[in-house]
Amino acid sequence: MIPKNIPLLVGSVLYLAIASVLPELQPLNIRPIPYQLISLVDGSQVVVRELGLTNAYLPDSEETVPGVELALISCGFPLAVFIVYHFLGRFFIKDSAARRNNESVDIEQVMLRGGDASDEGAAHTDGKYFSSSQWADTFRIVSSFFLGLGTTLLLTDFIKYYVGRLRPNFYDICGFDDETLSCTAEENRQNEGRKSFPSGHSSLSMVGCMYVSLFLMYKMKLAEKPTFVRFSVGLAPASLALWVAASRLVDNWHHPSDVLAGCLIGFSSAYVTFNMFYVEYFERQGNK
């Protein structure tokens, strides 16, 4: 079971690596700096800035969710959940009688039969087969997650570079000078102020946390939990992603539409890749 899933895992890692650098190969859309010159009666002129871009710049170290924490939420957290489930998954199987007799259950067959290990069709096998099945399940979910994460990165960064929307804190982040009517900050910092749409924090946190939510709700069919508890546990990671997205508005890094678009990209990537490369895979296996 493991060798059959290694190519997909390797391919998903390569896809993630390519997706993280490919968008940067395209040129950034440099929009003109918006301002108006208003002439007064005394002959002088006043520079009027666009109101929606005048928010204060908040350094990365002072953000609600800095870059390191975003990486932990969007990638570290899902991988930790998958690994923990890999080693503890057998304890969530509903066939308590099998556990008392030191028997194991083929988790793939359990999943294919709706999550009830007491079905006649649920196979009772030795521990080695259970371990092999668990490895296959873990390889599959990690691979599909990397595909979803890579798709989110690719779409988010490609749109950022293509659109070049100015951030709400653009004047502050670029060091706009009313005398020269130009930016004075370093080029890298100026370019950062032109990547508002869509929100990367929103899309990345959403794809990571939604994967955990979808995974838990799918696996909770095997757990001895009431429906309300299953729903609450499954909803918690998605709520974390919404909090991260909302923090981008509080920190003046994004417009509301940036956050909504980022959440949509992350949610769609998670939903499509989870069902296409994880759920449908086991359904196809069950029909063979």
Active site residue 201: yes
SS3 letters across the chain: CHHHHHHHHHHHHHHHHHHHHHHHHCCCCCCCCCEEEEECCCCCEEEEECHHHCCCCCCHHHCCCCHHHHHHHHHHHHHHHHHHHHHHHHHHCCCHHHHHCCCEECHHHHHHCCCCCCCCCCCEECHHHHHHHHHHHHHHHHHHHHHHHHHHHHHHHHHHHHHCCCCCCHHHHHCEECCCCEECCCHHHHHHCCCCCCCHHHHHHHHHHHHHHHHHHHHHHHCCCCHHHHHHHHHHHHHHHHHHHHHHHHCCCCCHHHHHHHHHHHHHHHHHHHHHHHHHHHHHHHCC
Nearest by Cα to 246 from 235, 232, 256:
256
Residues in the chain: 288
CA quadruple 243, 19, 271, 213: dihedral positive or negative?
negative
d(CA 21, CA 233): 34
Catalytic residue chosen out of the listed positions 86, 124, 201, 255: 201
Catalytic residues: 201, 254
